[in-house]
Amino acid sequence: MAKITRSPPKTTKPAAKKSTKASRKNSIKPWTPAEVREAFTRFRKANPEPKGELEHLNPYTLLVAVVLSAQATDAGVNKATRTLFAAADTPQKMLALGEDKVRDTIKTIGLYRNKAKNVIALSEKLIAEFGGEVPRTRAEIESLPGAGRKTANVVLNMAFGERTMAVDTHVFRVANRTGLATGNTPLEVELGLERVIPAEFMLHAHHWLILHGRYTCLARKPRCEVCLINDLCRWPEKTV
């Protein structure tokens, strides 16, 4: 009697699981224009004239402070720049101070060696190409050593009153967590926020979002119970 051989049962390959984060973003119900307006109306009522927390004396020192703030806290930068800016508040004075002195003055800030090089290099470029003045376009500011898009947006907003959206870690977190403007990169979030936030709020919008992320919508333990927009927030894990 011939031996019957049976082929092993076919196994169905499990479907690839979608990223939880991606599926969560896709399932978030977009904010309505009325909800966005309500959120920023509340921010404005609570803090009509929000200010950035980086201490500076003029557009040049603001530019330097923002460059130094990469991967550092505003408080830590302020502690170092009080001494630095007392000695050098223009590109010319910064060059006269010299890289070694700049490095020693800012050594409490992370990546201080490379940042000292950038401060000297951007000061040289400001003098050589822009008459010692901070330029007023994003592309020109981004051309300076150590300055990226976020730096340019902060300087354009705070020094020159442009309605730009600077996306730091706080803004990126708040925008994604609340569902206000989701994105995988700071640029995606920046453009998303610019699309949904009414023009009347744009001058102060990035400050409101930064301060909200710094003091309320914290990274590890958000303070949902005191959040001004907790009823509008789309975060599925909010505690209220």
pTM for this model (two decimals):
0.85
Cβ atoms of 171 and 213 within 8 Å: the answer is: yes
pLDDT at residue 119 is higher than 80 = yes
What is the average pLDDT score of the chain? 91
**Mean pLDDT confidence for 179-193:** 97
**Mean pLDDT confidence for 115-129:** 98
pLDDT at residue 2 is higher than 50 = no
pLDDT digit string, tens, across residues 154-166: 999 999 999 999 9
Residue 67 confidence (pLDDT): 97
pLDDT confidence bin for 14, thresholds 50/70/90: very low
pLDDT at residue 134 is higher than 50 = yes
Residue 6 confidence (pLDDT): 52
20, 30, 49, 100, 205 from 219: Cα distances, Å: 19, 22, 25, 36, 20
Cβ atoms of 144 and 158 within 8 Å: the answer is: no
- What 3 state SS string does 59-81 have? HHHHHHHHHHCCCCCHHHHHHHH
pLDDT at residue 89 is higher than 90 = yes
Residue 28 confidence (pLDDT): 79
- Give just the sign of the alpha carbon dihedral 105, 211, 26, 201: negative
pLDDT digit string, tens, across residues 19-71: 445 445 556 799 999 999 999 999 999 999 999 999 999 999 999 999 999 98
Number of other CB atoms surrounding residue 200 within 10 Å: 13
Which residues does the annotation mark as catalytic?
150, 168
